[in-house]
Structure 1
Amino acid sequence: MGASDTPPFLHDAIWQERIFNGDWIAADGGSHAIVEPATGELLGRCGAANAADVARAAGAARAAQRAWAATDYKQRAQVFRKAAALLEQHQEALATWIARETGGIMPKAQVELREALAHLHEAAAMLTQPKGQLLASQEDQFSIARRVPHGVVGVISPFNFPLILSIRSIAPALAVGNAVVHKPDLQTPISGGVIIARLFEEAGLPKGVLQVLPGGAEAGEALCANPDIAMVSFTGSTAIGRRVAEVAGRTLKKVSLELGGKNSLVVLDDADPDIAAANVAWGAYLHQGQICMAAGRILLQRGIAEAVTSRLLEKAGRLPVGDPMSGTVALGPLINVRQVQRLHAIVTDSVAAGATLLAGGSHEGQFYRPTVLTDVRPGMRCFEEELFGPVASITVFDTDEEAIALASATEGCLALGVISPSVTRALRIVNRVPCGHAHVNDQTVLAEAHAPFGGSGSSGNGGRHGGPADWDEFSQWQWLTIKSEAPQYPF
């Protein structure tokens, strides 16, 4: 990107071909090219960690953790406030990095920065929240249930919203007294790793408490297997999540999984067609559909289906696709060629199985056109599989009971949306569809730093991020009793 548009704390000379352990050091695993998905331009080279790098990082994090946990809570809170101030100070330049590295439009990058800022403020607030309960006990003693850190938490984050999906685990894990070993995706190591490392470095986090190691499968496997790491927080695909749980289980780690899934947006026949179509387009097309809670199934009641579909077609036809840095497009590129090929195969296989292609279904390089598929039925790939691309897959239903059955026909669901002016009617559907979070009169792509977020079924293992859930995930209960003097036992 060049030094002229790079803030000093993110200057190339600091992080290029390096990983972070409190200092910036060369990685045993070498380095990795960072390629801008919209242009193919080389943005730089990050350090690429291997198993040996992970082993050293985990040991160093474990050695640093106890002193960090014993640090006065006011000092720890100040670290997060300083990091937040730095993020605000440099947000314009950081937004450019995020947009170029992820292929997202600038408003998407700005959302990442705002939400990351919120997570930092929430982490600072955790330091003054109650972290235990006073239990019933004898009159002359105290019995206390208190939350204590796990020790070292491993974090593995994906490419789509790398800053948010990294910092939402890193910040609360650090806040409650853990050290963190973090492996961002090699496709987005700056947005998902380097930015965070520099924020905490400049904010005064003690050396060793945060280790940032971009890496591939070898590093991820090593992180999950390492005995110095007590917990793994993973965000990514269901297939890899199963592997994470398998490897981490050998050392009895706690594992928090936020995985892919099939989310439904239900539009009832009493909805406003214009509002419904806007919700469908946003839920299906935002950030090219590369969002874990994107609306992968659009369920339209028959009485309103034609009206909503016609409006959606108009939107799909006029949403510009191209380089997000131009400032004139709504959709950027998919993250890589492999993702384009997978998405296009789902679309073409679904059409061959009887779905009707009304818009899109084509691409130039990694730029996939906003797509509308109708006549979609259970069993088709676009109905069953997570799309992770800009495809509105429409299934028409007749009764509310049918909508419940269609929305529930999945192994895992992160989010559910129901659009209807009848809140009572919408709630009847929400209350009967298993999902991680549900929204009446909104689409599915929603998240806030203070709200518990996670999936059900194969979309997660019951773990949550955000608000009160952060205490549940990143600390564990300890029972403490205090007596004025030791009792005399009969033995």
Structure 2
Amino acid sequence: MNSDPHLLWIGGQSVPASSGEWFDDLNPIDDSLYATLSKANAQDVDSAVCAAQTAFESYRNSLPSDREGWLIRAAELLIAQSDEFVALLIDEVGSPISKARKEISTSVGLLRAAAGATRQLSGKTLPTNVPGRISISTRQPLGVIAGITPFNVPLIKGIKHSAMPLATGNTVVLLPSELAPLTTLRIAKLFSDAGIPDGAFNVITGNGYEIGDTLVSHPDVKLVGFTGSTTVGNRIHALCGQHGKRVTLEMGGKNPLVVLKDADLDKALSASVLGSFLYQGQICMASSRIYVERPVYDTFVDRLCAAASGLGRGDLRDPKTMIGPIISSRQRNRIQQHVNDAVTKGAALRVGGDWEGHRYQPTVLTDVSEDATLFGEETFGPVTAVYPIDSVHEALRLANASPYGLCASIFTSDLQSAMQFAQQVQAGMVHINGATIQEEPHVPFGGVGNSGFGLESTDVDLADLTQWKWITVQYDE
């Protein structure tokens, strides 16, 4: 347990919530108390945004070399302090150590990419019909950027929702999930130690359903970046539209993984296990529906079930462990309700379907009916359903029947089928002979439909986080 109470981070200082209220952060292994944190209210939100706005007046004029140096230093510190961050991710959100280490390496890459982006803010010299005029355009930072981050990858998303805003001369107020606030506060110390000026990065902790609207609607917030559920994302989208704010949303997924009869089954199986069960399925890119061509369907299902039943469920600090605890009682109930509903409506439980403490066994279902909740909704647990198909055309039709469209994968040795699927599937990211769970700092990351609005990447962020200004110079009449 982190015994000392943890305060908000506003203006480069740890400050208590104005109400004096606190909330508990629980270790998902057994719901024991992990940390106690200040519970922010609307007044604290305003204080954080005002601190960020005040800092923006000078931070916007910081040199690219300064911002580059701070972000590189943050990456170096993250590497040096990786053991501390790994321990946080294990104990606060139940990350198996391999997943926690992956968060570190991905976050280091995000920081380095953002550091490089500081020198990519370029404008244009424009043609003009006015004699004696120079016409140019420049990019300028927006101002205060609000980030709202989830529990499942709190380090990655905490860095992603702050590094590029800071790189482009903006300031940040971050509201983390109430299930993962301590990791985000640790990012604040990382940035402070790296030299990022006071007030440029702020963290408010508390319940998003109580203070999220206040943050999103604050008049000094110019853009909101959100990662989380589709329901909350749609609420934020509506508020941003109402108040004329820019917004990027990375929301849920019901991601298809397709295995055709000519696929390398070993690679398809490895990708399916990773995609379905990494971090016990609590990943938006999880492979929650798998479509397998009939000639290899039975073999694939048998092998997937055997692999799932053998996944490590031991000490989270053991590299052999893949399955950790489900984050909260609410999410545990959701998983159980989805599986129970599917079985009641005729699904076959092929493996798993039971609890070991707060860990849900890796679960594979077949014969899931279309009226089952699990058929169409994101379960966010170590549960996948496998369906037989007769062709790539059927796979494409079924994949596109979902309102979600985050990512998709197809395994085949037929280039024509692979490219047909990649071009026509309604998803923001498609992987041929690769897992659905993939990410790099510079790629356009995001989905379509109920999976998102806008994209995340260094190139896209350079545009989204800045605004054009047209400047003319009349030098000769």
Classify the TM-score, shorter chain. Answer: over 0.9
1:315 counterpart = 2:307: yes
Identity of aligned residues (%): 36
1:279 counterpart = 2:271: yes
Over residues 35-58 of structure 1, what are the superposed CA-to-partner deviations in whole Å (9 max), with x where a residue is unaligned?
110132322212221111001111
Conserved in 2, the CA contact under 8 Å of 1:322 and 1:333?
no
Conserved in 2, the CA contact under 8 Å of 1:408 and 1:433?
yes
Question: Please, which moves more after superposition, 244-253 or 266-275?
Answer: 244-253
1:373 counterpart = 2:379: no
Q: Which runs of 5+ in 2 are unaligned?
A: none
Name the aligned partner's letter for residue 171 of structure 1: A
Over residues 115-135 of structure 1, what are the superposed CA-to-partner deviations in whole Å (9 max), with x where a residue is unaligned?
111111111111111422222
* Partner in structure 1 of residue 68 of structure 2: 77
3-state SS of paired residue (1:335): coil
* Partner in structure 2 of residue 65 of structure 1: 56
Aligned residue runs from structure 1 range 293-372, under 5 A: 293-325=285-317, 327-372=319-364
Conserved in 2, the CA contact under 8 Å of 1:465 and 1:473?
no
Deviation (angstroms), 1:449: 0.9
Conserved in 2, the CA contact under 8 Å of 1:224 and 1:247?
yes
3-state SS of paired residue (2:221): coil
Deviation (angstroms), 1:363: 1.2
Q: Which runs of 5+ in 1 are unaligned?
A: 3-11
Name the aligned partner's letter for residue 363 of structure 2: T
1:222 counterpart = 2:197: no
* Partner in structure 2 of residue 6 of structure 1: none
Conserved in 1, the CA contact under 8 Å of 2:98 and 2:319?
no
Name the aligned partner's letter for residue 28 of structure 1: S
Change (3 A) 1:277 1:169: same
* Partner in structure 2 of residue 8 of structure 1: none
* Partner in structure 2 of residue 27 of structure 1: 17
3-state SS of paired residue (1:379): coil
Tell me, in whole angstroms, the C-alpha distance in 1 between the residues paired with 2:122 and 2:90: 38
* Partner in structure 2 of residue 403 of structure 1: 395
* Partner in structure 2 of residue 166 of structure 1: 158
Aligned residue runs from structure 1 range 104-253, under 5 A: 104-138=95-129, 140-191=132-183, 193-216=184-207, 217-253=209-245
Conserved in 2, the CA contact under 8 Å of 1:100 and 1:325?
no
Name the aligned partner's letter for residue 182 of structure 2: I
Deviation (angstroms), 1:141: 2.6
Conserved in 2, the CA contact under 8 Å of 1:412 and 1:459?
yes
1:16 counterpart = 2:10: no
Over residues 396-454 of structure 1, what are the superposed CA-to-partner deviations in whole Å (9 max), with x where a residue is unaligned?
11121111100001112110100112222111111111111110001100111111101
Equivalent pairs, count: 474
Conserved in 2, the CA contact under 8 Å of 1:282 and 1:443?
yes
3-state SS of paired residue (1:43): strand
Tell me, in whole angstroms, the C-alpha distance in 2 between the residues paired with 1:394 and 1:442: 18
Q: Pick the aligned partner of 2:444 from 452, 458, 468.
A: 452
Name the aligned partner's letter for residue 375 of structure 2: F
Tell me, in whole angstroms, the C-alpha distance in 2 between the residues paired with 1:445 and 1:293: 5
3-state SS of paired residue (1:242): helix
Length-normalised TM-score, structure 1 = 0.93
Question: Please, which moves more after superposition, 203-212 or 226-235?
Answer: 203-212
Conserved in 2, the CA contact under 8 Å of 1:19 and 1:46?
no
Over residues 336-384 of structure 1, what are the superposed CA-to-partner deviations in whole Å (9 max), with x where a residue is unaligned?
1110111111111111112111101111332100001011343322220
3-state SS of paired residue (2:288): strand
* Partner in structure 1 of residue 375 of structure 2: 383
Deviation (angstroms), 1:203: 1.2
1:467 counterpart = 2:432: no
Conserved in 2, the CA contact under 8 Å of 1:281 and 1:392?
no
Q: Which runs of 4+ in 1 moved over 6 A?
A: none
Tell me, in whole angstroms, the C-alpha distance in 2 between the residues paired with 1:476 and 1:44: 40
Name the aligned partner's letter for residue 282 of structure 2: Q
Tell me, in whole angstroms, the C-alpha distance in 2 between the residues paired with 1:196 and 1:215: 17
Tell me, in whole angstroms, the C-alpha distance in 1 between the residues paired with 2:358 and 2:84: 25
* Partner in structure 1 of residue 283 of structure 2: 291
Conserved in 1, the CA contact under 8 Å of 2:7 and 2:38?
yes
Tell me, in whole angstroms, the C-alpha distance in 1 between the residues paired with 2:411 and 2:318: 34
Tell me, in whole angstroms, the C-alpha distance in 2 between the residues paired with 1:22 and 1:277: 48
3-state SS of paired residue (2:135): strand
Name the aligned partner's letter for residue 343 of structure 2: V
Deviation (angstroms), 1:21: 2.9
Tell me, in whole angstroms, the C-alpha distance in 1 between the residues paired with 2:9 and 2:178: 12
Q: Pick the aligned partner of 1:258 from 250, 274, 278.
A: 250
Question: Please, which moves more after superposition, 102-111 or 124-133?
Answer: 124-133
Tell me, in whole angstroms, the C-alpha distance in 2 between the residues paired with 1:42 and 1:108: 23
Change (3 A) 1:207 1:17: closer
Deviation (angstroms), 1:468: 0.8
Superposition RMSD in Å: 1.6
Aligned residue runs from structure 1 range 81-96, under 5 A: 81-96=72-87
Tell me, in whole angstroms, the C-alpha distance in 2 between the residues paired with 1:473 and 1:99: 33
Name the aligned partner's letter for residue 61 of structure 1: A
Deviation (angstroms), 1:326: 5.0
Tell me, in whole angstroms, the C-alpha distance in 1 between the residues paired with 2:386 and 2:319: 30
* Partner in structure 1 of residue 429 of structure 2: 437
Deviation (angstroms), 1:322: 4.3
